[in-house]
Structure 1
Amino acid sequence: MREIFLRVPPDDPASLVRAAAVCKAWRAILLSSDDAASFARDYRAFHGPPPPMLGFLHNKCYKTHCLSHFVSTTATPSFRPPACHGRRHWYALDSRHGRALFYTPKSDEDFVVCDPITDDRWAIHADPRYSDVMWKPQDGDEDEEEKTWNAAVLCAKDRCDHLDCHGGPFLVAFVGSDEQRGTFASVYSSETDQWSKVIFLNQPNAIMEAGHSAVLGSKVYFPCKQSTQIVEFNMGEHKLAVINKPFNQAYLALVGVEDGMLLFAGLRESKLHLLSMEAGPNGAVAWVRCRIIALKPLLPSRALLKASVVGFAEGIGAIFLSTEAGLFKIELNSGRSRKIYRKMFFEKIMPYTSFYTGVRNVGGCSGRASGAGVTATTAM
């Protein structure tokens, strides 16, 4: 039975949960602490990498507040983490390495990092040296200078394969900009519960707050509102740089990382345009590769009338398009397309990828981070 369970598709976690309820012997394989930890490791090794996509995060904003939502994309829509769905005044910023990052302006903290698998949560206060950049002026305040920012979450475990990051250390990279201080950045470590020193670049670069971030090693990239530029935050060397993209097409936006290169994507004349860019030292561009995919054979005609690129699943190699006919997933390697959600306008979606075997807080997945001010809660 263990060998059979290992072959259950990772995008159908409900099957393992149902199997655990059949009898004590099956439950022992899947949920008892010793056997389950071994099974979870073997399951990840059998199917990965990359981890499967279990769903995606998106925000729905109204005049007075925003709601974060989680949409399951598993074969049976069973995985719905309560920490990530329907949270009032929670704004999803990023999802990476088994975690999700939220901006929570109406709470005591400023950020919350969640592990949707274990339901652990870490509360983080913004660095007071730049927390004012997160405050938004009232409508009609024309004298207020433009303040923009964005943030990303990533695993901090050394030499991690990101198949089982649950409970390990993490980082939150923050980049902001205003006319007085220019562009500045800092990184939070869950191990020390502290923000690093703030580094500055003496020029304002309005950060695209709804844009996708990208992580390559110790470097985090954020798109700018000026479509020809992106900001590079080198956390290892504590440096900031602005990279001028070697193309002027405003419709191409940063969506993530593919094959160790930054990936830009956009739609034009019913075609999906992809550009992979390798960033060199000091903001230089070392190499560029372009691809074009015709969408007419892949999508219904209604979906071609009004569409936009809203997300990318790293490792899986899937682009997501918000269209008049619904949300579509385009697999770049196979060329297959599939509708994964009903008609709805999305500005940005953040795919969530991880293995889920029904095991919680076993095999090193304690969900606890060191640091006196970090809070973690577990819901069983």
Structure 2
Amino acid sequence: MAAPPSRRASPPVLPDELVEEILLRLPPEDPACLVRASLVCKTWGCAVSRPIFRRLLHEHHGTAPVLGFLHNWPSERIPNFMPTTASPFSLAAPDRRVWQAVDCRHGRALYLSEYEDQGTQELLVWEPTTGRQRRVFLPAAFNCRYPNAAVFCAADACDHRDCHGGPFCVVLVFRKSSGSDEYDSDDEEHLTSACVYSSETDTWGEPTSTHVQFAMDFGYYSSVLVGRSLLYFMSDFWLIVEYDWARHSVRVFEVPDEAGDGERCTLMLADDGGLGVTELTEDLNPHLKLWSRVASDVTDARWVLSRVINLEKLLPIGALVRNVGLLVVGFAEGANVIFVNTVAGLFAIELQSGRVNMVCHDQGPCRLIPVVTFYTPVPRNRHQDLRLSNAAKVLGGQEERGEQDTTVDRAQQLFDDGSNAIKEGTTSRPSNVSAMS
């Protein structure tokens, strides 16, 4: 009797540290790749969903990608979260009929409730990559009007590579109401106030205020965080409000005199990490002017023109017809990307590389809230595979240098071989998958 045919040999199992190194090389601007990888097997799913994997992505790729943006456009046919990635990707963002997106930073997005029914207005802190939510009620005693708010990580010495679930603060800036909604009363003293909420104590601190000439509205612009304690907000009178978290102080100053129309300005980070302003000109040769606020030991800080970008060299001709609809509508803090709205659609401009990407054909007049982070899939269950522990050892400097280099080189070789096979058509490409948080 003939011996039964031998069974087909199983492929060799890759070491856990090699699996991690390969998965790290999947393009971060295509989050669906990690989603598909997480569905291959339980080990891979646990590897990409562990918190430390996001830190490894930062170590390997550096700057986090812009996954997309939140917005408040009224159109029901436009998703609440608009992706800017290379593959189909979505996040289950809160309903904009109830919540207005106001900020996103350090892995958290911040929303303000659309209803204002005497003390019932609240904030919603939402983590896009984990789906966690936390509601924060605004004290009725604030009696605030036309507010804006910013969220940031409050953990000491955090590098913001994996601060999900940690302590955070919310800074609320608003116009103190005196019972009147008049903007042009000469006798009325207008107050601009700021207050801080701490997630660690679940309480609001005492507001701090400054007198201003105008009753300012903060609802049209996004905030910018400079360093660890300085938050900046733009108002509708082309004034900038600075809140110093460390000193709990508020002051107000103007945008650059040459900037002119505040509707075409937005706050940004300058090349040196300080405060900057982007101005969009209205002349026949549209261009962006980038201003930096420079401190001085002798005089007050002043605005300096640091760079001029000719939009005719970056955007298609059809987008610059008579400057119609040409607006700067957002700045991606952490990625150095500016969003420009045109009649031809919405464009993302990378300031460092000069690369331009058309985000969508739909456009609207309201601000955008960019989501800048590495996406890692949420675990399918609470079980965590503890075998993939080499990443922690590498970060802690415990691995031998020779073994680490060998693993990295081998992972890169396997990744390159797989990529070449896909390009040559020898390996079937899996279908696209939408990632739902």
Q: Which bin holds the TM-score, normalised by the shorter protein? A: 0.7 to 0.9
Q: Hey, what does 1:184 align to over in structure 2? A: 193
Residue 93 of structure 1: CA displacement?
0.8
Match of 2:371 among 352, 361, 368: 352
Q: Are residues 1:220 and 2:231 paired?
A: yes
Residue 322 of structure 1: CA displacement?
0.6
Kindly provide the CA deviation profile for residues 143-197 of structure 1, in whole angstroms up to 9, marking residues without a partner as x: xxxxx32111111111221121210111111111245551111111111111111
Kindly provide the CA deviation profile for residues 239-267 of structure 1, in whole angstroms up to 9, marking residues without a partner as x: 11112334242235232223322121122
Shifted more, 189-198 versus 262-271: the winner is 262-271
Match of 2:344 among 325, 332, 340: 325
Matches within 5 A, 1:61-100: 61=74, 69-78=80-89, 80-84=90-94, 86-100=95-109
Q: Hey, what does 1:51 align to over in structure 2? A: 64
Residue 27 of structure 1: CA displacement?
3.3
Residue 25 of structure 1: CA displacement?
4.2
Match of 2:162 among 149, 164, 175: 164
Q: Hey, what does 2:3 align to over in structure 1? A: none
Q: Hey, what does 1:150 align to over in structure 2? A: 148
Kindly provide the CA deviation profile for residues 68-87 of structure 1, in whole angstroms up to 9, marking residues without a partner as x: 82111122122x22133x43
CA RMSD across the alignment: 2.8
Equivalent AA in structure 2 for residue 196 of structure 1: G
Contact 1:262/1:279 (8 A) holds in 2: no
Q: Matches of 1:38 and 1:163 in 2, distance apart? A: 9
Q: Normalising by the residue count of structure 2, what TM-score does the alignment of the two structures yield? A: 0.71
Q: Secondary structure at the match of 1:162?
A: coil
Q: Hey, what does 2:397 align to over in structure 1? A: none
Matches within 5 A, 1:284-363: 284-286=300-302, 288-305=304-321, 306=324, 307-360=326-379
Contact 2:97/2:114 (8 A) holds in 1: no
Q: Matches of 1:264 and 1:45 in 2, distance apart? A: 30
Q: Matches of 1:208 and 1:41 in 2, distance apart? A: 34
Equivalent AA in structure 1 for residue 170 of structure 2: V
Instruction: Name the CA shift for 1:115/1:247 in 2 (closer, same or farther; >3 Å).
Output: same
Contact 1:213/1:220 (8 A) holds in 2: yes
Q: Are residues 1:21 and 2:39 paired?
A: yes
Q: Secondary structure at the match of 1:60?
A: coil
Q: Hey, what does 1:370 align to over in structure 2? A: none
Equivalent AA in structure 2 for residue 124 of structure 1: V
Q: Hey, what does 1:278 align to over in structure 2? A: 294
Percent identity (aligned): 39
Q: Matches of 2:46 and 2:234 in 1, distance apart? A: 48
Q: Matches of 1:362 and 1:291 in 2, distance apart? A: 51
Q: Secondary structure at the match of 1:103?
A: strand
Q: Matches of 1:28 and 1:212 in 2, distance apart? A: 36
Residue 328 of structure 1: CA displacement?
0.5
Kindly provide the CA deviation profile for residues 292-344 of structure 1, in whole angstroms up to 9, marking residues without a partner as x: 11111211111112211111112221111011111101111111211011132
Q: Are residues 1:41 and 2:55 paired?
A: yes
Contact 1:323/1:345 (8 A) holds in 2: no
Instruction: Name the CA shift for 1:275/1:150 in 2 (closer, same or farther; >3 Å).
Output: same
Contact 1:60/1:68 (8 A) holds in 2: no
Matches within 5 A, 1:255-270: 255-258=267-270, 259-268=272-281, 269=283, 270=286
Q: Secondary structure at the match of 1:88?
A: coil
Unmatched 5+ residue regions in structure 1? 135-147, 364-378
Number of residue pairs matched? 340
Contact 2:266/2:330 (8 A) holds in 1: no
Q: Matches of 1:101 and 1:28 in 2, distance apart? A: 28
Q: Matches of 1:180 and 1:362 in 2, distance apart? A: 58
> Which is greater in Rg?
2
Q: Are residues 1:118 and 2:130 paired?
A: yes
Q: Hey, what does 1:10 align to over in structure 2? A: 28
Residue 278 of structure 1: CA displacement?
3.4
Contact 2:319/2:342 (8 A) holds in 1: yes
Contact 1:68/1:91 (8 A) holds in 2: no
Instruction: Name the CA shift for 1:151/1:362 in 2 (closer, same or farther; >3 Å).
Output: farther
Q: Secondary structure at the match of 1:202?
A: strand
Equivalent AA in structure 1 for residue 150 of structure 2: A
Residue 236 of structure 1: CA displacement?
1.2
Q: Matches of 1:68 and 1:158 in 2, distance apart? A: 36
Contact 1:92/1:100 (8 A) holds in 2: yes
Equivalent AA in structure 1 for residue 260 of structure 2: A
Shifted more, 105-114 versus 318-327: the winner is 105-114
Residue 110 of structure 1: CA displacement?
1.0
Unmatched 5+ residue regions in structure 2? 1-18, 177-187, 385-435
Q: Hey, what does 2:427 align to over in structure 1? A: none
